[in-house]
A and B are shown apart, each in its own frame.
Chain A
Amino acid sequence: MSAAPAYSEDKGGSAGPGEPEYGHDPASGGIFSSDYKRHDDLKEMLDTNKDSLKLEAMKRIVAMIARGKNASDLFPAVVKNVACKNIEVKKLVYVYLVRYAEEQQDLALLSISTFQRGLKDPNQLIRASALRVLSSIRVPIIVPIMMLAIKEAASDMSPYVRKTAAHAIPKLYSLDSDQKDQLIEVIEKLLADKTTLVAGSVVMAFEEVCPERIDLIHKNYRKLCNLLIDVEEWGQVVIISMLTRYARTQFLSPTQNESLLEENAEKAFYGSEEDEAKGAGSEETAAAAPARKPYIMDPDHRLLLRNTKPLLQSRSAAVVMAVAQLYFHLAPKAEVGVIAKALVRLLRSHSEVQYVVLQNVATMSIKRRGMFEPYLKSFYIRSTDPTQIKILKLEVLTNLANETNIPTVLREFQTYIRSMDKDFVAATIQAIGRCATNIGRVRDTCLNGLVQLLSNRDELVVAESVVVIKKLLQMQPAQHGEIIKHLAKLTDNIQVPMARASILWLIGEYCEHVPRIAPDVLRKMAKSFTAEEDIVKLQVINLAAKLYLTNSKQTKLLTQYVLSLAKYDQNYDIRDRARFTRQLIVPSEQGGALSRHAKKLFLAPKPAPVLESSFKDRDHFQLGSLSHLLNAKATGYQELPDWPEEAPDPSVRNVEVPEWTKCSNREKRKEKEKPFYSDSEGESGPTESADSDPESESESDSKSSSESGSGESSSESDNEDQDEDEEKGRGSESEQSEEDGKRKTKKKKVPEGKGEASSSDEDSDSSSSTSESEMTSESEEEQLEPASWRRKTPPSSKRAPATKEISLLDLEDFTPPSVQPVSPPAIVSTSLAADLEGLTLTDSTLVPSLLSPVSCVGRQELLHRVAGEGLVVDYTFSRQPFSGDPHMVSVHIHFSNSSDTPIKGLHVGTPKLPAGISIQEFPEIESLAPGESATAVMGINFCDSTQAANFQLCTQTRQFYVSIQPPVGELMAPVFMSENEFKKEQGLQGGH
């Protein structure tokens, strides 16, 4: 903060009133741009009683701050308003205070009492913001006040205030680090907090203040793991990062055993190509492992892995990265693979995110190549990628290349070489070189490819190839005399210093392979020596020395010439090198002992360079950290500890009662939603009918249940597990149809029939009396209607006895329903209609065959008493084919006259029907006396649709427009089927 004022003052100066750019700024307007008066003006506004003026003034002041202008002279005027009642003004005053309090410490103290009052405010938001501002005022004198405020806020009722307290902790710590011990106490208290809101912030404070106090985490470890998923994204990142460190101190390495096996196998497979370090590492573990007990993962370790895994699907790239690094650092080798996909997904994100991700992937892919191999193609480079991304992808591709995929990778590299982006091309050539050194099988292929690149028109490509070829040739120089000759010729053309230097070094080193060319090259270089770059000059000296030692006859004079030129070079390195070389190779009078060994010194066999990734060993930095990106320790980097040799006591994490409020909430919610599921799956009919239908249905069920199963089954269903419900929704079909099969119920689908599942449900519900279906219906009933409703229904006296019902169902002959439009049972039914509805028809012993199936269906209102001027019309679906026309369903229409005059001439008027739907009218009812009821049957062909059939219902005096809309489940009829037939049918429907 110390430099900040200076900065703003600077800016204030430069962006002063005259600055044209700000001229149009409406916030500053003309007022500021004039002169000193501007502040008087603002002061005046701040002193008024009008909130609107104050607000206007504060807005202008904050705009000044935002632009970096100096507004410090307004401090006294502003600070007065800290107690302003208006929350908008207050907010802006806070903003101002935070900015200037440090500069004007004495004046800032004036505001403290307001904040202290604010801390006691009944409104949690005001308490929080008072604490937030108070803790942001960097005035050392108020440290005790801050400390007190934080302590109090840490036990506030509101989690939001406690969260603010957690935020205030690092602020106070940075102001006065002597408070550490007291702050740790607060942190400890807040770590125990059970709300998700606080968790992220307090862990943040922990990381800032006392990251070494890992012991504070023990008791909270499991809780943090469990609530992690509900914490907001920023908090998740902090917690995951902290838990990674924690786990590294508390658990044993999960890879200790596997690493021994796998790495050795890998090493054997790739032989010498495997990097040295890896080999060394595995040897270490190999030595250490046998001493250890067989590894069993601590359940808490497992908990962390399990609870973080779903976060790999987080929307936030930061969270995904955090989990990825956690898995990389903590998971057993076999499980780390899960992060690959998530990381690859992040490659579709912003290029900055890609940059971070690719750096991490590059590091990971060295250690764990296998896990990214399936995603090789996701790292293919697009011409639209920024150079940095291209180079990182290239790095990853190179790391992933192995014996099997190398042809694909090389083909891809070939495309890249044609890119316009020269840095990228150079990097590609380097990558080819690395592949060649790592994978022996393709070394020659790569070398040939690179040699071909030597005739590329682009000099940079050639130069880069030379450099890489040089490295490759060092591996088996004897076989490549031709290539060296080819390179020697290039010295005439190629100008890139690094490439020239490389060629010269090669010729010098392997001069015995090109004995005739080498001296000639030296001759040419001697000629152009003065014009060469330093790096080339050094190599010319080098070449001269080597040739002098091997072929002094031809090159003695040339060497001396070169050395003389170098002796007077401007660069002291070159002068030094010349002097040094001369002493070494030219025998002097003193008979230098060294010159006798000169040949050994210069022409000693040199190990081939290892071309390795710059990301090797970067994983000692915690992945995802800035230090990893920089490949250097940033300030405050917390070293990721090594796994302990012996596991620390796991019981420290035990907590007495793991109480989990969240969970119970969830369960409750689940319970609530369950009925919804079973509902929607069981009922497929349109909502309209679904409202009324189930009632009557369950009504009939309750009847059958009370007959056979009685009370016991209902209590059972009360305790019924929700899952079972759901299951039934799906299972009911087969269950019930089985019963149907047994009973030989004649069931036949009307051709128009739709939605077999639900319709058969209803049908068999009504007819069956076994406990299984009872349970279904019972539980359904429980959900759909109040229990009292059921209790009200009179006991079975009026209902058909079970035996009767079964006999009814066995009847196979269907008398045409149209025969008895006005039948006695219908009259009975009206009398009972109030509480029994459709059921009553089953009661009838007179026409059992006809009426029994109707029993199950609820009545729909066709015409209301008021609308019908006393005429009440209901309808039910009888679930039988209409006798007159097999394509029609029969619909029973129930008329009753509630007026006090007879209704005459009831008939169907001209129907207006949608295409395909047809109606078979019922015979006219001549007269319906007051209080009397009648039932008629009409046939409707709904033509497989659920569209309504609209028609007119006419009396002598009136016409009523009515409509019947079929619920899907009603377009069917019973059908007779043998058990075998049924099974066959069932087989066909197997898909359900």
Chain B
Amino acid sequence: MSASAVFILDVKGKPLISRNYKGDVAMSKIEHFMPLLVQREEEGALAPLLSHGEVHFLWIKHSNLYLVATTSKNANASLVYSFLYKTIEVFCEYFKELEEESIRDNFVIVYELLDELMDFGFPQTTDSKILQEYITQQSNKLETGKSRVPPTVTNAVSWRSEGIKYKKNEVFIDVIESVNLLVNANGSVLLSEIVGTIKLKVFLSGMPELEAKGQFKKQSVANGVEIAVPVPSDADSPRFKTSVGSAKYVPERNVVIWSIKSFPGGKEYLMRAHFGLPSVEKEEVEGRPPIGVKFEIPYFTVSGIQVRYMKIIEKSGYQALPWVRYITQSGDYQLRTS
């Protein structure tokens, strides 16, 4: 149903660590992975699923690591990808960053985690909070011995331990919306959508039930605005004039980045940029990539959603404080130029 083995490879395709779960696919098959990847990349047909004969590699890339699951069976692909991403999530919880260095520094724990995350190719305990209860980095928890047992895995509710206590019972609610926008060259909006997430950071004792009610209702300031205007790759001698903020030419990306710290609503700003172009015309025509915009608007939600109330229902009926924060971020915000 799922993976036969999971590998973590470095950027050159060399296995850093591996765990064989089922033993039905030879571990040496992983050697085919990198050549296959390179080949497909050259063909321009790189897909997250590569096959070498009977063996299929489902892989994802994280920073400069490849996480590869091998299988020869009819696995559930989305389950495997979900699992691989979950694995990254768990590792990041443990090591903050998941990269070659952190794997090398933590072989034991990584191996233990791989052992716990999956059993015989089927995902097991994948919640990092629970895992952290019994796969610990410190070796000083020795003396407790048998009495120290993580009860959570065996609970009916596997995602929360019993007997959690906080001095202050607080809930932090982040309402984050990201705006995806696609605008035509002639300015008409092709697609606009808001992807909203509500994130909770919960410091509540016991096992409360939470109930939030949001409501849509209907001058704000955007912070850290960054506008990336693509320019031809052979442009030179840039000169800028901006009414506000600063502009910078980034030749590696072939863009001019205009950053504005704070952009109040209803305002209009202007940037003028001059570039020199070589007089010789290139054979190939370059496409004109879209203009990208990044920004963040605090205390504001585009959809106008507001958290009306947060009910915290717990047996003991303690007082708890909910804190709410609203942020709107730019999602995939593209203005086509051609």
Identify A160's interface contact among B79, B119, B145, B153, CB under 8 A. Answer: B153
For B79, list chain A residues within 8 Å (CB).
234, 237, 318, 322
Q: Which of B169-177, B215-223, B243-251, B282-290 contacts A (4 or more CB under 8 A)?
A: B282-290
For A65, list chain B residues within 8 Å (CB).
111
Contact with B along A72-87 (1 / 0, CB 8 A): 0000000000000111
Asked if B112 and A4 make an inter-chain contact with CB atoms under 8 angstroms apart, the answer reads no
Asked if B76 and A322 make an inter-chain contact with CB atoms under 8 angstroms apart, the answer reads yes
Asked if A62 and B107 make an inter-chain contact with CB atoms under 8 angstroms apart, the answer reads yes
**In the docked arrangement, what's the CA distance between A422 and B319, Å?**
61
Identify B334's interface contact among A85, A208, A383, CB under 8 A. Answer: A383
Asked if A352 and B191 make an inter-chain contact with CB atoms under 8 angstroms apart, the answer reads no
Asked if A355 and B82 make an inter-chain contact with CB atoms under 8 angstroms apart, the answer reads no
Given contacts A204-B122, A377-B190, A676-B313, contact A4 B27 (CB under 8 A): yes
For B190, list chain A residues within 8 Å (CB).
377, 380, 412
Which of A233, A318, A415, A625 gathers most chain B CB within 10 Å? Answer: A318
Which A residues between 320 and 360 are near B, CB-CB below 8 angstroms? 321-322, 348, 350-353, 355-357
Cβ of B330 under 8 Å from chain A: no
For B110, list chain A residues within 8 Å (CB).
66
Cβ of A291 under 8 Å from chain B: no
For A49, list chain B residues within 8 Å (CB).
none
Cβ of B74 under 8 Å from chain A: yes
Cβ of A645 under 8 Å from chain B: no
Cβ of B81 under 8 Å from chain A: yes
Identify A388's interface contact among B17, B23, B47, CB under 8 A. Answer: B47
Given contacts A67-B107, A321-B78, contact A86 B142 (CB under 8 A): yes
Cβ of B162 under 8 Å from chain A: no
In the assembled complex, how far is the CB of residue A688 from the closest CB belonging to chain B, in whole angstroms?
A: 12
Asked if B46 and A386 make an inter-chain contact with CB atoms under 8 angstroms apart, the answer reads yes
**In the docked arrangement, what's the CA distance between A1 and B84, Å?**
22
Asked if B78 and A624 make an inter-chain contact with CB atoms under 8 angstroms apart, the answer reads yes
Contact with A along B7-31 (1 / 0, CB 8 A): 0000000011110101110111000
Asked if A350 and B85 make an inter-chain contact with CB atoms under 8 angstroms apart, the answer reads yes
Which A residues between 49 and 79 are near B, CB-CB below 8 angstroms? 51-52, 55-56, 59, 62-63, 65-68
Which A residues between 4 and 31 are near B, CB-CB below 8 angstroms? 4, 6-8, 10-11, 22, 24-27
Identify A138's interface contact among B23, B51, B119, CB under 8 A. Answer: B23
**In the docked arrangement, what's the CA distance between A197 and B44, Å?**
44
Asked if B154 and A676 make an inter-chain contact with CB atoms under 8 angstroms apart, the answer reads no
Asked if B145 and A629 make an inter-chain contact with CB atoms under 8 angstroms apart, the answer reads no
Cβ of B64 under 8 Å from chain A: no
Contact with B along A765-791 (1 / 0, CB 8 A): 000000000000000000000000000
Identify B289's interface contact among A383, A388, A458, CB under 8 A. Answer: A383
In the assembled complex, how far is the CB of residue A48 from the closest CB belonging to chain B, in whole angstroms?
A: 14
For B302, list chain A residues within 8 Å (CB).
none
In the assembled complex, how far is the CB of residue A598 from the closest CB belonging to chain B, in whole angstroms?
A: 41
Given contacts A197-B158, A630-B49, contact A635 B146 (CB under 8 A): no
**In the docked arrangement, what's the CA distance between A908 and B217, Å?**
47
Instruction: Considering the complex, give the chain B residue whose CB is closest to the CB of A132.
Output: B119
Cβ of B123 under 8 Å from chain A: yes
The A interface is mostly helix, strand or loop, or mixed, namely helix
Cβ of B277 under 8 Å from chain A: no
Asked if B74 and A11 make an inter-chain contact with CB atoms under 8 angstroms apart, the answer reads no
**In the docked arrangement, what's the CA distance between A87 and B143, Å?**
9
Instruction: Considering the complex, give the chain B residue whose CB is closest to the CB of A412.
Output: B190
Q: Which of A120-128, A428-436, A811-819 contacts B (4 or more CB under 8 A)?
A: A120-128
Identify A92's interface contact among B15, B108, B144, B209, CB under 8 A. Answer: B108
Given contacts A88-B139, A201-B122, contact A625 B74 (CB under 8 A): yes
For B60, list chain A residues within 8 Å (CB).
350, 352
**In the docked arrangement, what's the CA distance between A387 and B44, Å?**
7
Cβ of B156 under 8 Å from chain A: yes
Instruction: Considering the complex, give the chain B residue whose CB is closest to the CB of A22.
Output: B104
Asked if B338 and A418 make an inter-chain contact with CB atoms under 8 angstroms apart, the answer reads yes
Asked if B74 and A637 make an inter-chain contact with CB atoms under 8 angstroms apart, the answer reads yes
Asked if A676 and B287 make an inter-chain contact with CB atoms under 8 angstroms apart, the answer reads no
For B45, list chain A residues within 8 Å (CB).
387-388, 423
Asked if A423 and B74 make an inter-chain contact with CB atoms under 8 angstroms apart, the answer reads no
Which A residues between 669 and 714 are near B, CB-CB below 8 angstroms? 669, 672-673, 676, 680, 687
Q: Which of A167-175, A264-272, A717-725, A858-866 contacts B (4 or more CB under 8 A)?
A: A167-175
Asked if A355 and B48 make an inter-chain contact with CB atoms under 8 angstroms apart, the answer reads yes
- How many pairs, one residue from A and one from B, have CB atoms within 8 Å of each other in the complex? 245
Identify A318's interface contact among B54, B76, B141, CB under 8 A. Answer: B76
Which A residues between 132 and 168 are near B, CB-CB below 8 angstroms? 132, 136, 138, 158-160, 167
Asked if B23 and A25 make an inter-chain contact with CB atoms under 8 angstroms apart, the answer reads no
Cβ of B271 under 8 Å from chain A: no
In the assembled complex, how far is the CB of residue A297 from the closest CB belonging to chain B, in whole angstroms?
A: 27
For A4, list chain B residues within 8 Å (CB).
20, 23, 26-27
For B158, list chain A residues within 8 Å (CB).
197, 232
For A377, list chain B residues within 8 Å (CB).
190-191
For B76, list chain A residues within 8 Å (CB).
237-238, 241, 318, 322, 624-626
In the assembled complex, how far is the CB of residue B333 from the closest CB belonging to chain A, in whole angstroms?
A: 10
For B81, list chain A residues within 8 Å (CB).
317-318, 350, 352-353, 356
For B153, list chain A residues within 8 Å (CB).
125, 160
Instruction: Considering the complex, give the chain A residue whose CB is closest to the CB of B71.
Output: A626
Cβ of A2 under 8 Å from chain B: yes
Cβ of B38 under 8 Å from chain A: no
**In the docked arrangement, what's the CA distance between A555 and B144, Å?**
97
Given contacts A88-B139, A352-B60, A457-B285, contact A68 B154 (CB under 8 A): no
Cβ of A301 under 8 Å from chain B: no
Cβ of B267 under 8 Å from chain A: no
For B83, list chain A residues within 8 Å (CB).
234, 318
Cβ of A627 under 8 Å from chain B: yes
Instruction: Considering the complex, give the chain B residue whose CB is closest to the CB of A622.
Output: B74
In the assembled complex, how far is the CB of residue A5 from the closest CB belonging to chain B, in whole angstroms?
A: 9
Given contacts A7-B26, A138-B23, contact A158 B154 (CB under 8 A): yes
For A322, list chain B residues within 8 Å (CB).
76, 78-79
Contact with A along B169-200 (1 / 0, CB 8 A): 00000000000101011000011010100000
In the assembled complex, how far is the CB of residue A90 from the closest CB belonging to chain B, in whole angstroms?
A: 10
Which of B83, B108, B112 gathers most chain A CB within 10 Å? Answer: B108
For A852, list chain B residues within 8 Å (CB).
none
Which B residues between 54 and 101 are near A, CB-CB below 8 angstroms? 54, 56, 58, 60, 71-79, 81-85
Which A residues between 297 and 330 are near B, CB-CB below 8 angstroms? 316-318, 321-322
Which B residues between 131 and 161 are near A, CB-CB below 8 angstroms? 139, 141-142, 144-146, 148-150, 153-154, 156, 158
Contact with A along B288-322 (1 / 0, CB 8 A): 11100000000000000000000101010101000
Cβ of A606 under 8 Å from chain B: no
Binding site for B on A (CB under 8 A): 1-4, 6-8, 10-11, 22, 24-27, 51-52, 55-56, 59, 62-63, 65-68, 85-88, 91-92, 95, 98, 123-126, 128, 132, 136, 138, 158-160, 167, 170-171, 174, 195-197, 201, 204, 207-208, 232-234, 237-238, 241, 316-318, 321-322, 348, 350-353, 355-357, 377-378, 380, 382-384, 386-388, 412, 415, 418-420, 422-423, 457-458, 624-627, 629-630, 633-638, 669, 672-673, 676, 680, 687
Shortest 3 CB-CB contacts between residues of A and residues of B: A1-B23, A3-B26, A160-B154
Binding site for A on B (CB under 8 A): 1, 15-18, 20, 22-24, 26-28, 44-49, 51, 54, 56, 58, 60, 71-79, 81-85, 104-105, 107-108, 110-112, 115, 119-120, 122-124, 126, 139, 141-142, 144-146, 148-150, 153-154, 156, 158, 180, 182, 184-185, 190-191, 193, 195, 209, 284-290, 311, 313, 315, 317, 319, 332, 334, 336, 338
Given contacts A2-B26, A204-B122, A380-B182, 17 further A-B contacts (CB under 8 A): A3-B26, A59-B139, A67-B16, A85-B145, A92-B112, A95-B115, A158-B154, A207-B1, A234-B124, A237-B76, A238-B122, A351-B48, A383-B290, A387-B44, A412-B190, A415-B336, A634-B72
